Amino acid sequence: MSTLVQLYVYDLSNGLARQLSAQLTGRQIDGIWHTSVVAFGKEIFYGQGISITPPGGSHPTRIVEMGETAIDEDTFEQYISEMHQEFTAEKYHLLDFNCNTFSNECIAFLTGGSIPDYIKSLPTDFLSTPFGAALRPSIDAMYRHGAPAGLPTPPPEATRAAAQVSPNPALATGLLEAIAARAASGGPTGSYIPTPALTSPSTPDTAGAKSCADPTSFQSILKDNRAVIAFFTSKTCGPCRVIEPVFQDLAQQKTRMNRGVAFTKVDLGVGTAAAIAGQYGVRATPTFIFFLDGRKTHELRGANAPELRTQVDLLIYEAYPPHPHKSASFPAIDSISLKPILFTQIPNLDTLLSKLNEFIDSVSPWTGVLTQAQVKQALSKTVIPFLEASSRTPPPPQPPTAPFDYWPALVSSLVSNLTVGDLFPLGDIWRIALLNPKFSEWSAAKRDPQNPLNVLLSKALESKDVPRNYLLTVLRMLSNAFSSANLARECITSMRNDLTAMLVLSLLHENVAVRSAAASLAFNVAAHLQKHRLEKIESHGNIDPEDEDLDWELEVISALLEAIGRENASEDIVHRLTASLALLLRFSPYTGDLIPLMEVLRSRSTLTGKLQKGDGGVTQVEIRKLVTEVAEKLCP
């Protein structure tokens, strides 16, 4: 059952920022935003530590629907409990680690998304103004030794210093003092004191055109975006009012689809915007100037809506050309299911426990935070009953629970006392546990090197002579980690180096069962990445190479091609390896960079070699279709 997730957004300036900011800073600041997350009938926010209140006692400026979460309330409460250690009052910083940092973490955990960009972007935007730059040293000084008690506000001398660099010092002082007074009185609600974080949207949506009124901010926009469309306008310009709705509509549509594309409105009557116009020779309005990588590429004068749309599309096409494989036909690759390959077989748990207890009893002396008796009791009274309940068919009416926070100490004690060869029952226990959604989400939230998944994987990489049974168990355990999208993301990001080392070690193993498990893990990695890329293409129209890692992709593709070439025992393994290769190559943002490597590795001949009759050749029709398609369409 899914649960609605909302983001409550409060304006601590009570509308003053929207009314006065352009006069003070040369930039439109629509609010001083505080955010909180609302889910499971609770409003959660960060300021003087993490606080939780019933929603409805406050009046947010706006409510943003963040989607739904499949995570249950107990798992979320456990996550918040762990977050208390990270989001302490002492760590709070007005600009760098604030309520919006916390809200973004919570939204990512619950939905996999993030809070709107306009809420995250203001610290950079605000500090680019003389007003913000003058205030920054005082803000840093306030938090140098931890957050001050109560709601932090700039000291009077900082307020005066920042005000003096504003075009209107009196108004600047009034605005800062009004925000401080409102915050000190309890912010948007008297039931708690929200902690402000500075943000500067130009529109309520996350997409759209941003106003710009000074050369420094304009250069910042050019620097931060590949493609920029600048609309030079003025309040007395009639044609400007006619064309502006078209410009705003394009901005909403195109910036939502393409990160790195910016639309900015330069009103010549605001701030020092006339200096921007002078820099680019703008003498009449409306004028549109198009920039690619900071360089002016085209200028359009007048209110010509069709031509404006055409030039915007041309600029974005040049900045972000569609992937060369987007419109091509790949029937065999498109038929690949992206569901992860999971190892769901449940062994006799009593036998598994008996074997593990036998290994535990053989150790002397025993070291660690838990005694042998405590370890055995935890296994028999907590772990095994949880696995039994989780694997029961049909599942029990009440989902099984267990105190998972105790388990890392359990794993640590076992790993520090048992030999690698005796750890395979523990790896199998973890493999089974990861099939439980609640347990896998707990594992995803356990972001530290002592996460048992990290510990068990690291143990398998300590030497080249890892016992086959432990290697096989760890590979299957890692494959099952992909039963959870959140845990899969953690594996590919925080555990990427060890995960890759494990694949390279195992894909060429002499044992066919190990190679099969490694091929399954490789497929799960590639399938997860393919889902992520498809989402990016769906929402943004392209994939930004900066979001991925070329060196990692080269290493994995090289390992897959070598494994395909050597695999002569199992068509099923060839199938999984080829599917993995296909998913990595299909929408790779590095298509041009990969071609030289693919040629050196003789990728096409490696694959077509699998179509030959005889030893190592594949005979199944579906596999042959896939191998042929990858060889002919994706390999140079």
Partners of 210 in beta bridges: 264
Catalytic pick from 59, 84, 93, 99? 99
Give the pairing type, strands 62-69 and 3-11.
Answer: antiparallel
Residues 6+ apart with CB under 8 A from 563: 507, 508, 515, 518, 519, 573, 577
349-361 and 424-433 helices, crossing angle to 10°: 140
- Would you tell me how many other CB atoms lie within 10 Å of the CB of residue 537? 16
Q: What is the largest CA-CA distance in the chain?
A: 89
Tokens of 75: 């798992």
* 43 within 8 A of 188, measured Cβ to Cβ: no
In whole angstroms, what is the distance from residue 14 CA to residue 518 CA? 57
Q: Tell me, what amino acid is at 310?
A: T
In whole angstroms, what is the distance from residue 34 CA to residue 60 CA? 9
In whole angstroms, what is the distance from residue 566 CA to residue 564 CA? 6
Tokens 């974005």 appear where? 316
Tokens of 635: 């390999």
* 286 within 8 A of 237, measured Cβ to Cβ: yes
Catalytic pick from 34, 93, 532, 575? 34
Asked about 99 being catalytic, the answer comes back as yes
Tokens of 183: 């915050």
Residues 6+ apart with CB under 8 A from 599: 636
Tokens of 103: 């809200």
Partners of 230 in beta bridges: 264, 289
Give the pairing type, strands 261-267 and 227-233.
Answer: parallel
Asked about 34 being catalytic, the answer comes back as yes
Tokens 């390896």 appear where? 577
Report, in angstroms and rounded to the nearest whole number, the Rg of the chain calculated over CA atoms: 29
Tokens of 499: 């995960």
Cα-Cα-Cα-Cα dihedral sign, residues 91, 95, 99, 105: negative
Residues labelled as active-site residues: 34, 99
